[in-house]
Amino acid sequence: MAQTEGQTHPASADDAWARTARHASRTTFFFDFDGVLSPITKTPGESQPVAAVPAVLERLATKVGRVAIVSARPVDFLRGRFPTLTHVDFYGLYGLEMLHEGEVVTKPAAVEFAEPMRALAAEARQVFAEPVDVEYKRLSVALHFRRCPERAPEVEQWARERALSQGLKIQGGRMVVELKPPVDQDKGMVITEAVQDSATAWYFGDDMSDIRAFEALRARESVDPDFFGMAVAVANDETGAEVSDAADLTLASPEAVAKFVNDGINRF
């Protein structure tokens, strides 16, 4: 496991679970969706959580202070994939949206970009035919080239040009490039804000954007010696090495995540 200066991490996952059990009421668990709770699919609309995941998350939510999914997907997408969850919060679009206790809250600075993003998605669909997948997310547009990786330079160049001409941000990911509003928001900022009252926090991620969340756990540890953050990567052959190098522990797959968490709950 990785160690951070000034913070000694448990020597094993067993020790991390033991600490979590001691501080359960002040522990938060955060999970990315794609690649962590759901296998990566050829097209973005096919993603579904591993069968065991909903029950595991709901069970976990009865044992710890809070459980949340932090995803690049919109909140409405996440609600559609988890219709039965009642005690799990959703952060969509890297935190531009949040669902908490049944209410969706959008960052005010991002609201004005809904119509420009709709127009941008329509333009992208005129420019790119399948197998490039254009995913309109209300406040962002993702261009997936998983089915045609050879077109990555073309897609990325078009995205860079649109970002420059329209004053947008670019977010890279696993076989995808995304155009986002110029609003200062990422997964690390979600975690920084959400762990202020936590004694322990876990984050499970698989992509480059999740490293910001890992860094937020480390930053919290650096100013609070009583706080412990556990960064868990999910292995993959696209961003796996870099993400794993930033984590304390690496699991093999979304199925392994579900089993690992379920087994951990049994230690409480």
State pLDDT tens for residues 120-150.
999 999 999 889 999 999 999 999 999 999 9
Question: Residue 227: helix, strand or coil by DSSP?
Answer: coil
Boundary residue ending a domain (157, 180, 203): 180
Q: Quick one: 91 and 122 in the same domain?
A: no
Identify whether residues 88 and 142 lie together within a single domain: no
State the pLDDT at residue 2.
Answer: 43
Same-domain pairing of 143 and 64: no
Q: Which domain holds residue 132?
A: 110-180
As a whole number of angstroms, the distance between CA 18 and CA 113 comes to: 45
For residue range 35-77, what is the model confidence (pLDDT) as tens digits? Answer: 999 999 999 899 999 999 999 999 999 999 999 999 999 999 9
Same domain membership, residue 123 and residue 96: no
Query: How many domains does the chain contain in total?
Result: 2
Distance CA 144, CA 172 (A): 10
pLDDT for res 7: 44
Q: Which CATH number does the domain housing residue 159 bear?
A: 3.30.70.1020
**Of 180, 208, 224, at which residue does a domain stop?**
180
Its pTM stands at 0.92
Q: Do residues 170 and 160 make contact, with C-beta atoms less than 8 angstroms apart?
A: yes
- As a whole number of Å, the end-to-end CA separation of the chain is 22
Are 29 and 67 contained in the same domain? yes
For residues 214 and 190, the answer to whether their CB atoms sit within 8 Å is: no
The answer as to whether 195 is a domain residue is yes
**Residues in the chain with pLDDT < 50?**
1-7
pLDDT given for residue 163 in this prediction: 96
